[in-house]
Amino acid sequence: MANTEQDDLKAAIFQRLHPRVYFERFLSEKIRPDGRDFGGWRDVSINVGSISTADGSALVRLGNTTVVCGVKAEIAEPDLDRAEEGFIVPNLDLPAICSPKFKPGPPTEEAQVLSDRLNDIIASSGMLPLSSLCIHPGRAAWVLYVDATCINYDGNAFDAALIAMVAALKNTRLPAPTYDETSGRTTCSRKTTVPLQLTRIPLSMSFGVFDATRIIADPTAFEEPLLDATLSVVIDENGEIVHAMQLGFGDAAGLDDASGATGGDTLITCISAAKTRRGQLSIQI
Residue ranges per domain, the chain?
40-197, 201-285
CA angle 72, 196, 47 (to 5 degrees): 65
CA angle 121, 125, 127 (to 5 degrees): 105
- Spatial distance between the Cα atoms of 48 and 169, rounded to a whole number of angstroms: 10
For 207-237, write each residue's pLDDT tens digit. 999 988 899 999 999 999 999 989 999 999 9
For 78-120, write each residue's pLDDT tens digit. 999 999 999 999 999 999 999 999 999 998 899 999 999 999 9
Q: What is the mean pLDDT of residues 228-253?
A: 80
DSSP code of 96? Answer: G
- Spatial distance between the Cα atoms of 186 and 206, rounded to a whole number of angstroms: 42
Burial label, 220 (beta-carbon count in 10 A; 0-12, 13-18, 19+): buried
Q: Return all residues near 121 (Cβ < 8 A) that are at least 6 apart.
A: 162, 202, 204, 234, 242, 243
Per CATH, domain 40-197 is 3.30.230.70: yes
| Strand duo 140-152 + 87-93: pairing | parallel
Per CATH, domain 201-285 is 3.90.1150.10: no
List the one residue out of 224, 234, 65, 248 whose CA is nearest residue 166: 234
Domains 40-197 and 201-285 alike in fold: yes
For 47-82, write each residue's pLDDT tens digit. 999 899 999 999 999 999 999 999 999 999 999 999
- Residue 163: pLDDT band (50, 70, 90) is very high
- Spatial distance between the Cα atoms of 140 and 148, rounded to a whole number of angstroms: 25
